């Protein structure tokens, strides 16, 4: 039995008004993220047996307005997500050529471990910074922005650099690693933030790809 199964059982047998979100039930959609025994987790991926506790405490994610019971308004997460400019802005519009990303390229190496974000918002809940600074981009938005900055197919460099290289971007992170511990996809979020901190000091680092014909797809 998972925590999500338990919530359905309570809804069926004790309180039909109990509200919570879920969709895929296999750890893919991210909608069932909540705080279980004081840590943000996916309810559908958390087995009751593994928690080894007689009483299981469930609560809505931190840093989000509560709409009802375990349902939160995800707007704070997606407001920041949008600031990191997550969509692809192709360097060549209408290009039909298949983009090949060599796995040993810089982008290929980062993407292999960092591309599986399901926008569950658990990392944002686990991070202590949004509590004192709601304008902080947050780990998921920064990680996504880094992937786009490294992506040779993408051309929107200046706007993304402006978002991440700011007081509310990577420089606000205190490297507490809470986001990494919470991420159900094991994305090394702090690695992305530290990588950006190091490389933002290198002039031209992310703009170089715009003038390199070998990276334009
Ligand atoms: Fe969820 Fe991980 Fe994506 Fe954060 S980075 S939103 S914890 S999947
Ligand atoms: Fe989709 Fe849990 S219901 S991740």
* Distance (Å) from CA 21 to ligand 2 centroid: 8
pLDDT of residue 95: 83
In short, whether 46's Cβ falls inside 6 Å of ligand 2 is: no
pLDDT at 212: 65
Q: Provide the b/e sequence for 114-151 (b: ≥16 CB within 10 Å).
A: beebbbbbbbbbbbebbeeeebbbbbbbbbbbbbbbbb
pLDDT of residue 190: 98
pLDDT in tens, the chain (217 residues): 999 999 999 999 999 999 999 999 999 999 999 999 999 999 999 999 999 999 999 999 999 999 999 999 999 999 999 999 999 999 888 888 888 889 999 999 999 999 999 999 999 999 999 999 999 999 999 999 999 999 999 999 999 999 999 999 999 999 999 999 999 999 999 999 999 999 998 888 888 887 765 554 4
The residues near 122 (Cβ < 8 Å, ≥ 6 apart) are 33, 40, 41, 42, 61, 182, 183, 184
Helix axes 139-150, 106-114, angle to 10 degrees: 150
**What count of other Cβ atoms lies within 10 Å of the Cβ of residue 75?**
10
Query: What backbone phi and psi angles, to 5 degrees, belong to 17?
Result: -85, -5
- Residue 39, classified by CB atoms within 10 Å of its CB into exposed (0-12), middle (13-18) or buried (19+), is middle
Tell me how far the alpha carbon of residue 121 lies from the centroid of ligand 1, in angstroms: 6
- Cα 116 to ligand 1 centroid, rounded to whole Å: 8
Could you identify the residue written with the tokens 């003038």?
211
Q: Is residue 202 exposed (0-12), middle (13-18) or buried (19+ Cβ within 10 Å)? A: exposed
Q: Could you tell me the CA-to-CA distances from 73 to 66, 117, 170 in Å, in that order?
A: 6, 19, 24
Reading the block at residue 121, the tokens are 């918002």
CA nearest neighbour of 121 among 27, 195, 32: 32
pTM over 0.85: yes
- 3-state SS assignment for residue 64: coil
Tell me which ligand sits closest to the C-alpha of residue 188: 1
Give Cα separations from 61 to 13, 67, 69, 185 (angstroms).
25, 11, 11, 17
**Ligand 1: distance of its center to the CA of 114 in Å?**
10
Determine the distance separating the centroid of ligand 2 and the alpha carbon of 6, expressed in angstroms.
14
Contact 87, 154 (CB under 8 A): no
CA–CA distance, 114 with 102 (Å, rounded to integer): 16
Pocket of ligand 1 (CB under 6 A): 30, 117-123, 139-140, 143, 182-185, 187, 189
Nearest to 174 by CA among 114, 206, 215, 129: 129
Residue 156's pLDDT is 95
What's the pLDDT score for residue 217? 45
**How far separated are the first and last CA of the chain, in Å rounded?**
47
Residue to substitute in 2, 3, 20, 24 for testing ligand 2 pocket (most ligand atoms within 8 angstroms of CB) = 24
């Amino acid at each position: 039995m998972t925590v999500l199964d338990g919530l359905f059982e309570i809804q069926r047998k004790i309180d039909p008004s109990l509200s919570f979100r879920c969709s895929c039930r296999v750890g893919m959609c991210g909608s069932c993220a909540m705080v279980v025994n004081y840590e943000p987790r996916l309810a559908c991926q958390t087995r009751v047996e593994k928690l080894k506790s007689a009483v299981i405490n469930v609560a809505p994610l931190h840093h989000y307005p509560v709409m009802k019971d375990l349902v939160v308004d995800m707007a704070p997460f997606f407001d920041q997500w949008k600031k990191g400019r997550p969509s692809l802005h192709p360097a060549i519009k209408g290009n039909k050529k298949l983009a090949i990303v060599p796995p040993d390229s810089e982008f290929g190496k980062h993407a292999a471990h960092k591309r599986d974000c399901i926008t569950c918002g658990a990392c944002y809940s686990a991070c202590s910074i949004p509590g004192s600074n709601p304008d902080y981009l947050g780990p998921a938005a920064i990680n996504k922005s880094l992937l786009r900055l490294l992506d040779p197919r993408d051309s929107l460099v200046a706007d993304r650099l402006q978002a991440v290289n700011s007081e509310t971007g990577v420089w606000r992170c205190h490297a507490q690693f809470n986001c990494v511990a919470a991420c159900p996809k094991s994305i090394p979020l702090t690695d992305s933030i530290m990588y950006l901190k190091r490389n933002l000091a290198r002039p031209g680092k992310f703009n170089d790809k715009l003038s390199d014909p070998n990276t334009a797809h």
